[in-house]
Structure 1
Amino acid sequence: MKHLAAMFMLMVSLSAAADGELATVDEVLNSLHETASTASFEKYFALYDDSAVFIGTDASEVWSKKEFKAYAKPHFDKGRGWTYLPKDRNIYFSPDKNVAWFDELLDNESLGETRGTGVLVKKAGSWKITQYHLTIPIPNEIADDVAEQIKAIK
C-alpha cells in the first residue's frame, strides 16, 4: 500500500510539473504575440533561441534569427509590429520535457485566419523558440484554385 501511495504522489507531482511546463510554454507564446503587436524588438527577439529559424508565408521566407531581425527592425523602429490573436493552441512535449512543439490558430486583420506552428527548447531552465512557421490555412474547397494561382506566377 505504501508503494501505491508513493507511486500516486509521484504521478501527481509529475502531472503538476507537466502542467507547469505547459503554462510556461503557453506564456512564452503569448509573450511572442504581445511583443510583436507592441513592436517591442528586444523583448520579442529575446524569446527566440540564437539558432532559431522563422518560416513565413512566402516560400522564400526561411530566415535565421539574424535575418529575421533585419527584416523586422525597420517595422518595429516605426512602431509597427504585427498582431496575431491566438484563438486555439495545442502544445506537446518530448518525454524528457526539454522540447515542446505547438500548433495554433490565429486571427490577423489583413490575412484573416492563420496558423502558427513551431518548436521550443528548454535551455538553462528557460524556454526559447527555435522554430516558428506562419501559414495561411487553405480550405480544401479552394485548394486547387489557389494551387493554380501559385503555379501561374512561378
Structure 2
Amino acid sequence: MMKSLLLACCLLFTGAVQAAQPDPALVKQVNAFVDGWHDDAAHARMVYFDKMAPDGVYIGTDRSELWQREAFRAWGRKYFEGKKAAWIFHATRRNVHVSDDGKLVWFDELLDTENMGHCMASGVLRKTAGGFEILHYQLSIAVPNEVADQVTGLIKAAEAKAAAKPATGS
C-alpha cells in the first residue's frame, strides 16, 4: 500500500499524471474541505481523522511521525479528547492542482500555527462519490534560511543526545 501511494505521489510530481487547470468551483470545494479539516483539529473534533482515507498517510514534523490513519488517530486521541483545541492551523496561501481525470487533487499551503509558528504542508486528496478524502499530508516547520544553520545544529545535538542514551527494557 505504501509503495502504491508513493508511486502515485511520484507520478503526480513528475508529470505522468497531467495537471489540468483547476476549475474555480473545485478549488473552492478543496479549500472548504481542507479549511474544515484544519477547523476540526482547532475544535478537537475526532471527525478530523475520518476525513483521511483508510489508507491515508500523515507525516508530521518529527522524523518518527509517519502514520497511517488509524495509528495517527491512536496517537492524536490525547490531543482531541476533553480539549477545546488539538492544534490550530490557518492557511495563509494554498495552491491547488488537479489531475486531468479529476480524481486526484494535490495542494501545498503556508500555515500560521498557534504553537509551531509558520509551517508549510502539502497534501493529496482523492475525490470520491462521497466527497474528498486525504491520501497524504506532510507538515513541515518553515525555517528561515538565516537561522537554518542554528536549527540544524540543534537537531544534530538532539539526535546525538538521543543516540547516546542507553537502551532501556529487557
Q: What's the TM-score bracket when you normalise by the shorter of the two chains? A: 0.7 to 0.9
Superposed, 1:2-13 pairs within 5 Å as none
Distance in 2, matches of 1:75 and 1:139, equals: 28
Shift of 1:20: 2.0
Pairing partner for 1:77 from 77, 81, 86: 81
Equivalenced residues, count:
139
CA distance in 1, matches of 2:116, 2:24: 32
- Select 2:65's aligned residue among 45, 56, 61: 61
Q: Distance in 2 between matches of 1:139 and 1:66?
A: 33
Residue identity in the other structure for 1:66: E
Bigger radius of gyration, 1 or 2? 1
State the Cα distance separating 1:63 from its structure 2 match: 0.6
Q: Name the structure 2 match of 1:92.
A: 97
Q: State the identity %.
A: 36
Where do 5+ consecutive residues of structure 2 fail to align? 1-19, 160-170
Whichever residue aligns with residue 74 of structure 2, its letter is A
Query: Alpha-carbon deviations, 1:8-34, whole Å to 9, x = none?
Result: xxxxxx98x822221111111011111
Tell me if 1:40 matches 2:28.
Answer: no
- Alpha-carbon shift at residue 125 of structure 1 (Å): 5.0
TM-score (norm 2): 0.76
Of 14, 35, 40, the residue aligned with 1:30 is 35
- Checking the alignment, whether the CA contact within 8 Å between 2:121 and 2:139 is kept in structure 1 is yes
Residue of 118, 121, 145 corresponding to 1:116: 121
- Work out which of the residue numbers 134, 143, 149 in structure 2 matches 1:138: 143
Provide the C-alpha distance between the structure 2 equivalents of 1:91 and 1:48, rounded to a whole number of angstroms.
Answer: 18
C-alpha distance in structure 1 between counterparts of 2:33 and 2:134, whole Å? 8
The match for 1:107 is 112
3-state SS, counterpart of residue 97 of structure 1: coil
Asked whether the equivalents of residues 51 and 134 of structure 2 are also in contact (C-alpha less than 8 Å), the reply is yes
Which amino acid is 1:153 matched to?
Answer: A
| Deviation for aligned residue 1:35 | 0.6
Report the structure, 1 or 2, having the larger helix content. Answer: 1
Read off the aligned partner of 1:50 and give its amino acid letter.
P
Distance 2:107 2:39 in 1: 17
In the TM superposition, what is the alpha-carbon distance from 1:64 to its structure 2 partner? 0.7
Structure 1: state its 5+ residue gaps.
Answer: 1-13
Distance between the aligned counterparts of 2:78 and 2:152, measured in 1? 32
Q: CA deviation at 1:46?
A: 2.2
Two-structure CA RMSD over aligned residues (Å): 1.8
Q: Distance in 1 between matches of 2:105 and 2:61?
A: 22
SS in 2 for 1:117: strand
